[in-house]
Amino acid sequence: MSNSSTSIVPLFARILLSVVFILGGIGKIFAFSLEEGFVAAKHLPLPAVALGVALIIELVGGLAILAGLYTKFTAWIVFLYMIPTTFLFHNFWAMQGADRLDAMIHFEKNLAIMGGLLLLAAFGAGAYSVDSARSPRT
């Protein structure tokens, strides 16, 4: 078993978590109008602005998590962003049939991702990260 201070596991965890956000942010760039329609359908004010904020949080947050840069702070920001996002866009309790099942799966997936973000917020990025490289050696 490797020492937790030099384990490569947090790096793999950050890679896996960041992919969802990086691809989500890129997807919002290339399908902005379509995504804006989804946001507008939820009756959010200023859907283009809300989508722009989501895009920035997902893309910048995902890249920061990948690099392990300001990881604890970034994990908290992305975690807090995911709370309303999860409840607004995956409200399975208000759906029926296949839509309900699909939304419930996405809701549960988001809960799992939020758990991973809380672990990053609590324990940091690990040895193979910008945060680790920037910290003073003892």
- pLDDT, tens digit, 9 for 90 and up, residues 87-118: 999 999 999 999 999 999 999 999 999 999 99
Residue 117 forms part of a structural domain: yes
pLDDT value of residue 68: 97
Residue 4 in this model has a pLDDT that exceeds 80: no
40 within some domain: yes
Domain coverage including residue 54: 9-124
pLDDT at 86: 97
Domain membership of residue 97 (yes or no) is: yes
Q: Quick check: is 66 in a domain?
A: yes
Q: What share of the chain is helix, strand, coil (3-state, %, to 5)?
A: 80, 0, 20
Binned at pLDDT 50, 70 and 90, residue 135 comes out as confident
Q: Total domain count for the chain?
A: 1
User: Are residues 27 and 35 in contact, defined by beta-carbon separation less than 8 angstroms?
Assistant: yes
Residue 4 covered by a domain:
no
Phi, psi of 52 (to 5 degrees): -60, -40
Q: Which of the two residues, 2 and 83, has the higher pLDDT score?
A: 83
Within-domain flag for 134: no
pLDDT in tens, 28-86: 999 999 999 999 999 999 999 999 999 999 999 999 999 999 999 999 999 999 999 99
Residue 25 lies in a domain: yes
Q: For residue 72, is it within any domain?
A: yes
